[in-house]
Amino acid sequence: MKKRNNILLLLAALFFFIVSFSLAHALNETHLDRSKLPLGCVSCHKNHGTSSTVMLERPKNQLCFKCHGNVKTGAPGEASTDIYSVLLKQSNHPIIQTTQYHYRGESLPERSTTTTRHAACFDCHNPHLLTSSNPLNGAKGYSGRGLQINKAQYEYQVCYKCHSDSANLPSSASDIASKFEAGNAAFHPVETVGKNNNVPSLVASLSTVSIITCSDCHNNDDISGAKGPHGSNYDYILSENYTMDTGAESPYAYELCYKCHRRSSLLNDDSFQAHKKHIVYENASCFACHDAHGTLNYANLINFDTTIVTPNSLGELNYLKVVAGKPRCFLTCHISSQTYEHKITGGLYCINSNCPPGW
């Protein structure tokens, strides 16, 4: 009798837990909202469930695609978004391939060089707590500098779990958090506002006190498709095209940058007085001079593309911001089968014919 009471009590508690979960949170947490997922918990969990999961209805690499897949059956609770097709684009988070390496309770960033690098839906989304206004709500985060965060407050904290000082970073990847440190010479304003209070090219919706997010640049290239940095037809999961090689300027070539920086302002030399000369006449990509994340030593996000920029004949390679719009560069640049040299000799900082007036 006593035992039976206990079981009843347990069942009641569980019932209460589930009901209060789905009622109290009905307006917020998407997956606990019965108007969206009429089957509630059993949409994802089943008695016994799939082995080595928390009673999940399907293996963990298939569960989310049941409703966020490319085949829509009209089953109750099915989502309108198709994440699966986005992950098949040429640049993507390798979720389909590596979800099996995720385990519940894992600690990120990885501290072992031998662990297989992975990305799973549950690394960025908390399936119980996510909401439509914040799809990352409840996900764990990392400061990028040693501090684990139980519930990430900012998107970049979720990204830093795998893109900062992970021991198993691929050799082609870098510590992204180190680029956005407040003490750096320049950075795009992701963690905090930027260092430059004169950015005349900014579009009307942005200012020098704006904050932007990783997914403002890393996102689905299809604006009518599912949002988020799942996959894109452009390299590096970029939301718009960004040509990093030398070539003709066009609205498309630097579409990513022109989303926030007015092309007309840049090519009108509103700030750097030789922007047009380099970008239009010398076919230089923004990438020849700028870093998209941040720079440790040079102001203005200057980070020369070392495949075309090398030290000059005096061995100098430097960028000095002296007078606004007329910086001093000491370097050699091999571009469009030409070689240009900027030297300090004779006080000349620009020795090309066609230098901007007064240089």
Q: Which is nearer to ligand HEC, 284 or 350 (CB)?
A: 284
Q: What gap in Å lies between CA 332 and CA 341, rounded to an integer?
A: 4
Nearest-CA neighbor of 295 among 217, 178, 189, 131?
178
Q: Is 200 in the site for ligand HEC (CB under 6 A)?
A: yes
Q: What whole-number distance in Å separates Cα of residue 321 and Cα of residue 299? A: 7
Nearer to ligand HEC, 3 or 327 (CB): 327
The full 3-state SS of 29-70, as one line of letters, equals EHHHCCCCCCCHHHHCECCCCCCCCCCECCCCCCCCHHHHCC
Draw the binding track, 84-113, toward ligand HEC (x: CB under 6 A; -: no contact).
-------x-xxx--------x---x-----
Q: Supply the minimum distance, in Å, between the C-beta of residue 3 and ligand HEC.
A: 23
The only residue of 129, 155, 246, 330 in contact with ligand HEC, by rule CB under 6 A: 155
| Amino acid identity for residue 35 in this structure | S
Q: 331 with 342: CB under 8 angstroms?
A: yes
Closest CB 11 distance from ligand HEC, rounded Å: 13
Which residue, 136, 154, 163, is CA-closest to 192? 154
Measured from the CB atom, is 1 or 204 closer to ligand HEC?
204
Torsion of the alpha carbons at 80, 214, 221 and 302, rounded to the nearest 10: 180
* Binder among 59, 62, 165, 195 for ligand HEC (CB under 6 A): 195
Instruction: Please state the φ and ψ torsions of residue 129, each to the nearest 5 degrees.
Output: -105, -10
Residues 330-359 that bind ligand HEC (CB under 6 A): none
Figure out which of the listed residues 89, 227, 276, 328 binds ligand HEC, where binding follows CB under 6 A. 227
Binding residues among 246-265 for ligand HEC as defined by CB under 6 A: 254, 256-257, 259-261
For residues 1 and 298, which CB has a smaller minimum distance to ligand HEC in the complex? 298
The one among 6, 97, 107, 132 contacting ligand HEC by CB under 6 A: 132
Name the residue among 275, 270, 264, 246 with its Cα closest to residue 338. Answer: 246
Tokens at 123, concatenated: 């690394």
Task: Look up residue 281 and give its DSSP letter.
Answer: I
Name the helix (H) or strand (E) containing 121.
helix 121-124
Site track 16-45 with ligand HEC (rule: CB under 6 A), x = hit? --x--xx-------xxx---xx--xx-xxx
Please answer whether residues 130 and 30 qualify as being in contact, where contact means their C-beta atoms are separated by less than 8 angstroms: yes
- Using the minimum distance from each CB to ligand HEC, give the nearer residue, 9 or 281: 281
Instruction: Name which of 1 and 146 has its Cβ closer to ligand HEC.
Output: 146
* Biggest alpha carbon–alpha carbon distance for the chain: 100
Does position 309 interact with ligand HEC (CB under 6 A)? The reply is no
- Binding part of the chain for ligand HEC, among 3-11, 145-153, 162-170, 342-350 by CB under 6 A, reads 162-170
Q: Which range in 5-13, 145-153, 231-239, 343-351 contacts ligand HEC by CB under 6 A?
A: 231-239
